[in-house]
Every structure is written in structure tokens, then in C-alpha cells.
Structure 1
Amino acid sequence: MSSWGALLRRGHLGTEADRATFRTLHTASQASPPLRAGLTTSSAERSLKYLRALLGAPAVAMTDTTDLLAWDGGRNHHAVQPPVIAAGTLGNGRTVVVDGADIACIEPSCLIRQAIVAPLEVDEKVVGTLQVFTGSASASLVRATTEVARWVSGQLELAELDASRTRLMEAEVRALRAQISPHFVYNSLTAIASFTRTDPERARELLLDLAEFTRYSFRRHGEFTTLAEELRSIEAYLVIEKARFGDRLRVTLRVAPEVLPVVVPFLCLQPLVENAVQHGIEGKVGDGEITILAQDADHECLVTIEDNGVGEDPEKVRRALAGDGNTDSVGLANVDERLRAAFGDDYGLVVETAEGAGTKVTVRLPKFRPGVHV
């Protein structure tokens, strides 16, 4: 039995009215997760039994703008009617009560005489209907159906927001890929070419590293990857940059084996390392150093990327993390947003920097999060 059920059974929620309220909230909470996936056949099928329980109706249906998505409650001989009786509400956006020939049937034992059709709206646009089939559409049931439809609409609005945010983040990942500039490719190939005569084997290895880096960066599948895969791409990138910088660039990479399987958003660390090279070390006079540590921290993995480069104005970094697209640290904002979207607000970036003092970026990652997998 769920914790809600246990509380109700033990009578810890006070009066019968209190218990009825909590039962209603619990039922609504069970309908919410499917609806947060959007208005689909699957979400309608999984949520309707809870919506019917909320309304206490003999049967309920859900449609989109053209078709029946799901029916719950038996009396399936009425299941052909929802797309037809939805037309009025889809056109005017109002809750209506339908009766007579529109819901008539030839079953003598069927008690359904009326249907309440309420609009489902997203961004002020009617995207479907919630329908309640009943023997008598009382005023209270009409009000309840309208309110439940508004609540369902709210869940669908949240689903659309989630989908919009996902589309935005995917677009930003494409933008990150596009930032693998011709300048970097040109410099990499120039560095490789310089070894073709003096050290052909090293030139060959660098070409393989460049191929590995580009293969990973432009892969088409999966929102998530493992820390091991992300670090492998970073290592290939840094090998190429070390060939270009020569002895000017020192790299320290220390990784606890226990954290290699940790699941991370795709391209969540690589942009941070590229930022350390391009904005930290590139403009520095003298030697540059980058240190990457991935440590086991109980239920979490702690990754730090630190450079001794030119540093950055902390206010500029703050604005970048707040979403100011006018800075040249778009990669930071993208990574921060995707970490928060995947794991919650406790898992964004922490950036410590000052002009002339280098930069340290800390990333906390949960070792496991339900729903997050490769």
C-alpha cells in the first residue's frame, strides 16, 4: 500500500472531509505524470481511469482535434461518438452538454443519456476535449468536468513547456557542435601536417584523435552519455591541443574508476574544457596548465576543470549563466541549463574566476537519477 493509503487507513488525516481531500489530491497526482508527456493516445489511456475516479462518472473519453484518444468505463458502444460531439467545443472553446440523438444507443440497459464536453487548451488554443458520459449532467458535475479539464490543460501546458525547453537545449547542442570552428580544424590539421615528415607515426595518431573528437561531437543518437565517453573525447581534444601548443600546455587528468559509468548529458564537460583552452590558455603569456579531476563523493561524482589562464570578469560569467546571450560564454549557460534540467537545480555549474587569476568550474553529478540513462 502507498504511503497515502497507509495514512488514510490509520486515520491520521483528521475528518472525513480531510480524508476526501487527500484522496482527491492523491488521485490527481497519479493522473499527472502521464499528462506531462503531452496529449497522446498513451497519456490519455494512462490518465483517464484516474480522471474518471475524480469525477465519479460512468465513462469518460479524451480526444484531440480529430480522433478519440482513449475511452474508460465500459459502455464501449458509445466510443464512436466522442469525435463527433467534440466539434462544437473544438470550435467555440466552451463546455457543452450533449444529449438526444447525438449520444443515443440501442442498448436497453444503458443508462447514459447525456455527455459533458469540456475543452483542453494549450497556449489559449483548443487542442482536444475531455468528455464525461453520464445519466444526468447535473450542474455540479458540469462544473467539476470544466475544472478537471482546466487542470488537465495545465498539465498539458507544462508538457509543452518541457518539450519547448528540450527543443531549445537540442538547438543549443547543435550550436555547440557548430562552434567546432574552422579555426580549430585548420590549427589541428596544421599541427598534424608539421609532424608528417619528422614523426609520421605521431601524425597518424593525431589524425585518429581528431577523428575520434569529431565523431563523438557530431554523433546523432542519445541525450546522455557516460562520463567515460565524455572524458575519452576530451582526452582526444587535449592531445590535439597539446600538439599545437607544444610545451606551453600541461594537462593533468585524474579520474576515480568508480565514477566512469556515471551518466551525464551529452557534451556537458567538453565545452568547459574547450572554454578553458580557448578563453583561458590561448591568450595567456607563458605556460598554461589545465587540471581535470573526477572524484568519487559518496552518492555523487565531483568533476572540476581548472586552468591557470587569463580568467574572466565574474559579473560577465554571472550574466552568462543567467542566460545573457550577448556574452561569449554561451557554452557555459547551455551546460548549466542542461544539468539543471536533467538532475535538478542542485546540479548546476559553480564557476570561480577573476581576471588574471584563472578559472575553476565545478560540476556535481548524481551517480544515479531515475529516468536518466544512456
Structure 2
Amino acid sequence: MAGWPGWLRRGHLGTEADRATFRTLHTAALATPALRAGLTEASAQRSVRHLRSLLASPAVALTDRERLLAWDGGQHHHQDQAGPLAQGVVAEGGTVVLQRDAIPCGHPGCPLRQVIVAPLTVEERVIGTFQVFVPSASAALVRAAEEVAGWVSGQLELAELDASRTRLMEAEVRALRAQISPHFVYNSLNAIASFVRTDPERARELLLEFADFTRYSFRRHGEFTTLAEELNSIERYLVLEKARFGDRLTVVLRVAPEVLPVVVPFLSLQPLVENAVRHGLEQKAGSGRISIIAEDNGSEAMISVEDDGVGEDPEKVRRVLAGDPETDSVGLGNVDARLRSAFGDDYGLVVETAPSAGTKVIVRVPKYAPGVHP
């Protein structure tokens, strides 16, 4: 049993039935990473030999709706038969067992006389087939082929969910950019323009801050970033806002160094700070204060963004977080949804506010979450 763990070779797992179960699970696990990439030629070729091992069949094939993606075993057979075999199952939607006349072969000793063709489905739509070429298709083998096809379909369904989630996250980030950027760009350029004649060096510094901020905000790779990168971008944003507000805006930033590597959704804190400026201080007479605090909280990082602005009606905030399209604080609802999507429903935003009482938004994120990395 070359390639198996030593404890398994020594028989520590128990009976032969136990060892067979382990081998089946291990083989399925080997095929999983490729299938979680979706049904492509590359993923099919990486997984097909493991699928053949599950059934110990002479040959198997994976196809999309009309063409062969990968083949393993029975090398003398005509692999171009797999595409046409798939088309009938795609049209009908059920498993079929076809006889030798459907898989003709010129090799006199060819043992392949039947083929089981089972559909691969995602969201109740047939996207391909799993084909098992055998000397004789018993009822038990047909059932086993259907079970393997069902398991493959499940992995492909998860791959589609991952892809849908990624598309949703990208769309949400685009929505944030569409909301934040025009407002911020207009005000920042106005502030910079005000220094061009009176303080050219200050104008140059602000332009560099503006360039770094927009470069980060419009980057196109990754749906996650580190807390350090997000806070660096926020600092640039606040430098530009302080140029606009002058002494009216006071910023307090307190960050525990140990939470800087923590991973957060890209552009998840920036909207909270911009909301503090736009919906808090811009509408307040006199000066205002924004505090950004990031603390170590055991297995989590605790981040808060607080302003002493005009506050908000708690009922309106509840509607924002519930996704009410009639509200105008798209950023808060967007961030709340992305936090819950990334880390689970326990990690949504907590907002403490009331009219004339300022607003405090609390974000909790786990220091480690499976599958979440910058």
C-alpha cells in the first residue's frame, strides 16, 4: 500500500472494511480541490483518475455538455465518443446505460462493452456528464456511478456558490466605489486646489496622499486585506479631510500592534469613517471628533469608529442594516453584509446612536477564519 500513511499500513484502522472506507474517503478528498475550481478541462484532468479509483473501473470520462474534458484508462478506446454520448444525457437529464454499439472499438480484445453515463448538475441544470466504461454494468455499479456523479455535482455546486459569492463581493465593492469616490474626489480636489497658490508644498503632499488613497481604493486584486493596509488608507483619507475641515476636525487613532495583521474585507472600515464624516460632522456646527480604536480581544480584533456628530435615528440604522433600499447609507449595509458573508452572522456591525448623541460603530473580526486571506 505505497503512498498510504504508516499507521494505515500497519492495520491500526481496524478491519478491512474500515480500511476500505478510509481509502474511499481519502480518494474522494484527493479529487475535491480540483472539482472545487468548477468544471473545466484543467479541473477534470486533475480529478478524473481519482474518480476512476473510486469505482475501480477500466475507464472513465468527464465531459461538459458536448465535449470530452478528461479521460482515464482504456487508452486504446476512441475517446472522441464521449462528447456525443454526453449530448443525449444532457438533453434527457437522467442516467443511461448504453451497449457496445454505442462505443464501437476496433481493438479485438477490448473489454469495454457498456457505458454508464450519469449527468452532472448544478442548480438543477445539467452541465456535463460522468461516464463509466465497463465490461458489464450491474445494477450496483450503476447506482455507484450515480452516487459518484452526485458527489461530483455537489462539489461543482459548491464551486458555483464560491464563484457567486466572489461575484457578489466584487459587485458590492464596486457599489462602494461608486458611492464613495465621486463625493470624496470632488471634495479632495477642491481642498488641494485651495493650497495651490498659498502653500504649493502642502498641495503637492496632498496630491501624493490622494494618489495613494485612490490607488488602494481602486485596486483590482483580492476581496480581503489586512487591518494595517485598511488603516493606512484611512489615514490618507483623513489627512485629506483634515485639509478640508482644518481645525474643525480632530482625529484620535489608537491601534494595538498585535491586530495589524488581522484580515478584514477590503474597503470595510473606510465607509464607516466616511459615514462618520459625512453623516456626523458635515452636518454639525463647530468642531467634531472621530476616534478609531482597534484592540486585541482574545481570538478577535475589536474595531470601533466613533464620532460626536449629529447622530441618527436608531430605527433608520436598523433599516439600513436590514437592506432597506429607501435608505441612503449604502456603505453601512454593504459592509455589514460583507462581514456576515465572510465570517458568519455573529460578525455583523453593531451601531450605537441617537439623535444629537453621535454614532459609534463596532466591528468584530476573528483573528483567523478558514479560507479568508489577503
Compared CA separation, residues 348 and 24, structure 1 to 2 (3 A): farther
3-state SS of 1:320 partner: helix
Q: Name which of structure 1's ranges 147-156 and 241-250 shifts more when overlaid on structure 2.
A: 147-156
SS at match of 2:94: coil
Which runs of structure 2 are paired with 1:1-374 in the superposition (5 Å)? 9-11=12-14, 28=28, 31-72=31-72, 74-78=73-77, 79-374=79-374
Tell me, what secondary structure is at the counterpart of 2:37?
Answer: coil
Q: Which amino acid is the alignment partner of residue 166 of structure 1? A: T
Secondary structure at the aligned position of 1:363 is classed as strand
User: Judging changes above 3 Å, is the alpha-carbon distance between structure 1 residues 141 and 324 closer, same or farther for their aligned structure 2 residues?
Assistant: farther
Q: How far apart, in 2, do the equivalents of 1:143 and 1:25 lie? A: 18
SS in 1 for 2:80: coil
In the comparison of the two structures, how many residue pairs are matched?
370
Taking the aligned partners of 2:372 and 2:341, their CA distance within structure 1 comes to 11
Partner SS, residue 362 of structure 1: strand
Whichever residue aligns with residue 77 of structure 1, its letter is: H
- Provide the C-alpha distance between the structure 2 equivalents of 1:133 and 1:337, rounded to a whole number of angstroms: 47
Contact 2:252-2:291 within 8 A present in 1 as well: yes
- State the Cα deviation string for residues 291-348 of structure 1 (Å, max 9, x = none): 1122234444332212222223334333333333332232223223333444444443
User: Counterpart amino acid of 2:93?
Assistant: G
Amino acid at match of 1:35: L
Q: Which runs of 5+ in 2 are unaligned?
A: none
Residue 233 of structure 1: how far off its partner (Å): 1.5
Report the AA paired with residue 247 of structure 1: D
User: 1:81 is paired with a residue of what secondary structure?
Assistant: helix
Could you say if the C-alpha distance between residues 131 and 176 of structure 1 is closer, same or farther in structure 2, counting changes exceeding 3 Å?
Answer: same
RMSD: 3.1
Secondary structure, counterpart of 1:360 in structure 2: strand
The CA deviation string for residues 49-90 of structure 1, in whole angstroms up to 9 with x for no partner, is 443344343322111123222223x22223333123212112
Q: Deviations over 1:174-230 (max 9, x none)?
A: 111111354433332332233334333222222222222222212233333332222
AA of the residue aligned to 2:206: L
Give the superposition deviation at 1:166.
Answer: 1.4
- Partners of 2:326 and 2:21 in 1: CA distance: 49
Determine if contact 1:300/1:366 at 8 Å carries over to the other structure. yes
The Cα offsets for residues 19-44 of structure 1, whole Å up to 9 and x where unpaired, read as 87777566555544432321122332
Normalized against structure 2, the TM-score is what?
Answer: 0.85
The CA deviation string for residues 268-288 of structure 1, in whole angstroms up to 9 with x for no partner, is 211111111112222223332
The answer to which of 100-109 and 15-24 deviates more is: 15-24
Q: Is the 8 A contact 1:169 1:334 kept in 2?
A: no
Counterpart Cα distance in 1 of 2:341 and 2:37: 15
For 2:267, what is the secondary structure of its paired residue? coil
Structure 1 residues 30 and 279, CA, compared in 2 at 3 Å: closer, same or farther?
farther
Aligned partner letter, 2:83:
P
Contact 2:116 2:131 in 1 (8 A): yes
- What's the offset of the Cα at 1:112? 1.8
* Maintained 8 Å contact 2:169/2:223: no
The farther-off stretch of 298-307 and 274-283 is 298-307
